[in-house]
């Protein structure tokens, strides 16, 4: 059984008796006039099918103990395939991807009332896809109208993502291999960026260096829009304009990851444009690095990310007090959230098919604890903008250091360890490539 078939079986095993689950594929999105963005499959659909074409839908049916996986997808079309590319079609979907049957996507609405008649539960991604919501509401109303003919409608509607995202949260061996590869390719891109960086370059030119390496290593897409932020731009958390000049004496913050076979890398590194940290940059950098290393050392089953963040906040506040950037008393500063002027995001997030991957994180009062098989990022930072009320030497410095970390049975494994992050290692790498 393929990985995808066994995931479908795992989902089916958790479905109610007499139920049906709907998983829509992604669709192509127009970028301008008649050109599209590169197609990216819906992650939930991909996780269960491994099928990478748009305009498709997976149905999982559990009826009287009989389980079926049906695919609805685009039909073979000679002309469309000459113009736009190969389509798998229905018969190969059955023979190659292991579905019980496949039908043309146009037939979905016609088949659904019959398939749903007599079932008690419908699973679908509720309120996420207006076209799907509308289609299902038409189907359900058609069944309601047939009540006098003996047709019945489901009485329970469940968001299928509650089951699926729990599955996606704990990574299998195969997924860990792909996430490791995504992290290694991402790391190679960051190393190339450190080697190629010099004053006077445009941020987008440095972006091109790192994305060149991603593609050379088999990652055709980035997992998210790359952030290449020189100087003050590093204080904009999701800066993606990347059209500033990289200046001698500034730091550059790169937050970028390759997507490899659907899986995301997500690495941040911050380094001096000219290859040598100034004294002020080095002080702040070392504080973020020490915080990141101690946060990673706390990653293990049974610990909550939110508690790792609380410790990171303490460490950052102590460091900022020592440098004179914050003044006052540690506990009070934390209570007043004074650190949020300089550290305003969380410590990390789940990583998988999506860069901010799915899965329940609990609530601040009852946080989800880490478990073996989860993959998370650990990414503390400090951002001191030009308008901050601090000495000039600390200004226009944005630093984030981010690694991808697998939670193992006894602790953690850093998947993105190939990119240097100590001051000495970074300076040595940059020196050797000048
Ligand atoms: N690159 C987005 C993030 O680090 O969360
Ligand atoms: Mn990132
Ligand atoms: Mn991240």
Per-residue pLDDT tens over the stretch 175-195? 999 999 999 999 999 999 999
Q: Whole-angstrom Cα distance, residue 377 to residue 359? A: 14
Per-residue pLDDT tens over the stretch 73-126? 999 999 999 999 999 999 999 999 999 999 999 999 999 999 999 999 999 999
255 lines ligand 1 (CB under 6 A): yes
Residues 286 and 175 placed together within one structural domain of the fold: yes
Residues 200 and 309 placed together within one structural domain of the fold: yes
Say how many Å lie between the CA of residue 53 and the centre of ligand 2: 28
Residues 24 and 149 placed together within one structural domain of the fold: yes
Residues 354 and 381 placed together within one structural domain of the fold: yes
383 labelled catalytic? yes
Residues 143 and 13 placed together within one structural domain of the fold: yes
Q: Which of 144, 168, 192 is the C-terminal boundary of a domain?
A: 168
Residues 248, 356, 360, 431: which is the catalytic one? Answer: 356
pLDDT of residue 27: 96
Closest CA to 99 of 60, 138, 127: 60
Residues 31 and 55 placed together within one structural domain of the fold: yes
pLDDT above 70 (res 248): yes
Residues 61 and 111 placed together within one structural domain of the fold: yes
Residues 322 and 252 placed together within one structural domain of the fold: yes
Would strands 121-124 and 57-63 be described as parallel, antiparallel, or unpaired? Answer: unpaired
Per-residue pLDDT tens over the stretch 311-330? 999 999 999 999 999 999 99
Provide the CATH number for the domain around residue 89. 3.40.350.10
- Across 228-245, b (16+ Cβ under 10 Å) vs e yields bbbbbbbbeeebeebebe
Q: Which of 153, 168, 183 is the C-terminal boundary of a domain?
A: 168
427 lines ligand 1 (CB under 6 A): no
Residues 157 and 210 placed together within one structural domain of the fold: no
pLDDT of residue 434: 84
Residues 225 and 354 placed together within one structural domain of the fold: yes
Per-residue pLDDT tens over the stretch 129-174? 999 999 999 999 999 999 889 999 999 999 988 899 999 999 999 9
Per-residue pLDDT tens over the stretch 348-364? 999 999 999 999 999 99
Count structural domains, the chain: 2
379 lines ligand 1 (CB under 6 A): yes
Provide the CATH number for the domain around residue 225. 3.90.230.10
Closest CA to 267 of 147, 348, 345: 348
pLDDT above 80 (res 380): yes
Q: Which of 142, 168, 194 is the C-terminal boundary of a domain?
A: 168
Say how many Å lie between the CA of residue 267 and the centre of ligand 3: 7
3-state secondary structure of 90: helix
238 labelled catalytic? yes
Residues 261 and 390 placed together within one structural domain of the fold: yes
Question: Which residue owns the Cα nearest ligand 1 atom 5?
Answer: 356
Structure token pair of residue 420: 């240097």
Would strands 66-73 and 101-104 be described as parallel, antiparallel, or unpaired? Answer: parallel
pLDDT of residue 1: 63
pLDDT of residue 162: 87
Residues 184, 349, 350, 357: which is the catalytic one? Answer: 349
Say how many Å lie between the CA of residue 182 and the centre of ligand 2: 13
Range of the domain at 288: 170-432
Residues 7, 339, 400, 404: which is the catalytic one? Answer: 400
74 labelled catalytic? no
Closest CA to 181 of 426, 432, 415, 431: 415
Residues 51 and 93 placed together within one structural domain of the fold: yes
pLDDT of residue 65: 85
Q: What percent of the chain has pLDDT over 70?
A: 100
pLDDT of residue 180: 98
């Amino acid at each position: 059984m393929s990985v995808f078939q066994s995931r479908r079986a795992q989902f089916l095993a958790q479905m109610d008796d007499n139920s049906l689950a709907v998983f829509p594929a992604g669709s192509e999105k127009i970028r301008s006039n008649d050109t599209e963005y590169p197609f990216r499959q819906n992650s939930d659909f991909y996780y269960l099918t491994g099928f990478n074409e748009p305009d498709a839908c997976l149905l999982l049916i559990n009826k009287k103990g009989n389980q079926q996986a049906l695919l609805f997808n685009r039909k073979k079309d000679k002309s469309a395939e000459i113009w736009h590319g190969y389509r798998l079609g229905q018969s190969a979907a059955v023979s190659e991807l292991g579905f019980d049957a496949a039908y043309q996507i146009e037939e979905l609405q016609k088949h659904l009332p019959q398939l749903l008649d007599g079932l008690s539960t419908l699973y679908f991604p509720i309120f996420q896809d207006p076209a799907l919501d509308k289609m299902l509401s038409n189907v359900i109303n058609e069944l309601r109208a047939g009540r006098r003919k003996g047709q019945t409608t489901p009485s329970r509607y469940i968001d299928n993502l509650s089951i699926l995202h729990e599955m996606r949260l704990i990574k299998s061996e195969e997924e860990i291999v792909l996430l490791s590869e995504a992290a290694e390719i991402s790391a190679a891109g960051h190393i190339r960026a450190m080697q190629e960086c010099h004053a006077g370059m445009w941020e987008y030119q440095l972006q091109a260096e790192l994305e060149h390496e991603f593609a050379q290593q088999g990652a055709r897409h980035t997992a998210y829009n790359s952030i290449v932020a020189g100087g003050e731009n590093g204080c904009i958390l999701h800066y993606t304009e990347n059209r500033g000049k990289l200046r001698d004496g500034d730091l550059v913050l790169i937050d970028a990851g390759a997507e490899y076979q659907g899986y995301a890398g997500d690495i941040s590194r911050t380094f001096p444009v000219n290859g040598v940290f100034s004294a002020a940059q080095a002080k702040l950098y070392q504080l973020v690095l020490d915080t990141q290393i101690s946060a990673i050392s706390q990653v293990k089953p049974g610990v909550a990310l939110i508690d790792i963040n609380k410790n990171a906040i303490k460490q950052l506040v102590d460091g900022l007090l020592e440098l004179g950037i914050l003044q006052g008393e540690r506990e009070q500063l934390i209570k007043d959230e004074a650190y949020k002027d300089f550290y305003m995001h969380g410590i990390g997030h789940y990583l998988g098919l999506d860069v901010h991957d799915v899965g329940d994180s609990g609530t601040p009062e009852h946080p989800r604890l880490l478990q073996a098989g989860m993959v998370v990022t650990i990414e503390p930072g400090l951002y001191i903008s030009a308008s901050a009320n601090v000495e000039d030497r600390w200004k226009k410095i944005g630093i984030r250091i981010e690694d991808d970390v697998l939670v193992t049975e006894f602790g953690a494994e850093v998947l993105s360890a190939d990119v240097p992050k100590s001051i000495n290692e970074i300076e040595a790498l940059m020196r050797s490539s000048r």
